[in-house]
Structure 1
Amino acid sequence: MNQVLDTQALLRLMAWLSPAFPIGAFAWSGGLESAVANRLVKNSVDLGDWLSALMRHGAFWNDAVLFSEAWRRFEDAVALKETAELGLAMAGSAERFAETLSLGKAFVAAASAWPDPVLERLPSDVPFPVAVGAVAAAHGVPANKALAAFLHAAASQAVSAGIRLGCCGQVDGVKILAGLEGAIAQLSDRAPGLTLDHLGGAAVQAEIASLRHETQHSRLFRS
């Protein structure tokens, strides 16, 4: 596939990963709300470290692997189904499962504005990174560019959640995103070589935070 990101593909990528795309990502924090409530994330430095750990060892890393596998196998309905099932099975908590499934289904529904046979190949229950990876590949978006945009959108959403939770301001939030550029670029450049053998993580505190959020009394977010 041509690795040049043409204007049409760029516009679609910008639309799909825009905050305005109707997938409801604003409603989820990926367990960050619990981390803030339990004082694991207290300020912008903590938030930057938290997101960096997710990028290298946690949910962002595994999402990148699932994204890359779906991008590579977008023409194979059986492979997409198996990847989707694996992605859902790896959800570390009920809320993480609901989050990735809700976003995945909403993404497929919204992406139908750009009709393509890949939408029929995707299973009805599909995690978010699998949905975006497969759709991006079907529309000719290079793997590394698509994954970079996906990871940047995920980090941006987490920073936005952090701002709403009061652990940083907007200026510091932008600094966090700037500080994550290297990690995002490094991971996205590995996209062509990432396979399911690379799945795994060590962000234990983040997984525990996600579990604790399920019983948190006062909440702004659904996860």
Structure 2
Amino acid sequence: MRERPAVEGLLRLMAWLSPAFPVGGFAYSGGLEAAVQSEHVSSAETLKDWLLTLLRNGSLRNDAVLLAEAHRAAAEDERLREVAELATALAGSAERHLEISRQGGAFLAAASAWPGSVPDVLDDGTAYSVAVGAVAASNGVGLAETVAAFLHAAVSQLVSAAIRLGVLGQSQGVALLSFLEEVIAEQAEKAVSSTLEDLGSATLVADQMSLRHETQHSRLFLS
């Protein structure tokens, strides 16, 4: 499908990746809550290190690669189905699987209000990154803009979670988002030219925190 005019594509991304879009992103921290409780993240500086690691070597990097592949495969049912299955299989914990599948299903349901088609091979268990990539392509929204907007929204959600967990204040959160702009743009550019061969991570502590959160007694978030 041809790409939409820049402004129309931007408006769709702003709507789809807004905190108000009904995917329930506010309920998840991706293991950050366990990291805060374990004091791996305890300040604006350690949160910055956490987010940089996820963007360059962890789950956010892999999400960007999967989104890009789903965007390219949107018109090829079998290829898109394989990407969706791979994304689900890569979930490293039960909570991670819950997070990506519930948000992905909610995104597909809400995005069906737009005229661009939602690929039939995707269901309510589709990983969030795959759902966003495929729907953006079906609506003619460019890949580079979609990846950048997705990563910015994901980082913004984690900063918001950290604020609610008392790690930093709102002014520090805004400053951190400003600092991370260049890194987000850099990782989005890499994702555009990536392939599935680029999948991989080196974030053992983050993975452990996601697992530990499953048995955490007192918590604000579902992951």
Name the TM-score class by shorter chain: over 0.9
Q: 1:199-220: per-residue Cα shift (whole Å, max 9, x none)?
A: 0000111000000000000000
Taking the aligned partners of 2:43 and 2:2, their CA distance within structure 1 comes to: 42
Aligned to 1:210: 210
Q: Normalized against structure 1, the TM-score is what?
A: 0.96
The equivalent of 1:198 in structure 2 is 198
Gaps of 5+ in 2: none
Q: What amino acid does structure 1 have at the position aligned with 2:16?
A: W
Distance between the aligned counterparts of 1:51 and 1:59, measured in 2?
10
Deviation at 1:3, TM superposition (A): 6.6
2:152 — aligned with what? 152
Please name the residue that 2:220 is paired with. 220
TM-score, with normalisation over the residues of structure 2? 0.96
For residues 69 and 194 of structure 2, what CA distance do their matches in structure 1 show?
7
1:13-69 deviation digits (Å, cap 9, x = unpaired): 110000000010000000000000000000011101100100000000000000000
The amino acid of 1:183's aligned partner reads V
34-43 or 131-140: bigger deviation: 131-140
Residue 22 of structure 1 corresponds to which residue in structure 2?
A: 22
Shift of 1:125: 2.3
Identical counterparts, % of pairs: 54
CA-CA distance at 1:141 after TM superposition: 1.3
Aligned positions, number? 223
Contact 1:23 1:103 survives alignment (8 Å)? yes
Amino acid at match of 1:142: G
Q: Once the 2 structures are TM-superposed, how far is the Cα of residue 92 of structure 1 from its aligned partner?
A: 0.7
The 5-angstrom pairing of residues 165-204 of structure 1 reads 165-204=165-204
Q: CA RMSD in A?
A: 1.4
Asked if structure 2 preserves the Cα contact closer than 8 Å seen for 1:144 and 1:190, the reply is: no
Within 2, Cα distance between the matches of 1:4 and 1:134? 15
Indicate if the aligned counterparts of 2:112 and 2:118 stay in contact, CA closer than 8 A: no
CA contact (8 A) 2:3 2:139 kept: no
Does structure 2 conserve the Cα–Cα contact (< 8 Å) formed by 1:143 and 1:191? no
Residue pair 2:58, 2:201 contacting (<8 A) in 1 also: yes
Unpaired segments ≥5 residues, structure 1: none
* Distance across 2 between alignment mates of 1:115 and 1:97: 29
- What amino acid maps onto 1:172 in structure 2? Q
CA distances 1:147-184 after superposition (whole Å, capped 9, x unpaired): 00000000000000000000000011011111111111
**1:109-130 deviation line (CA, Å, top 9, x unaligned):** 0001013333324244210000
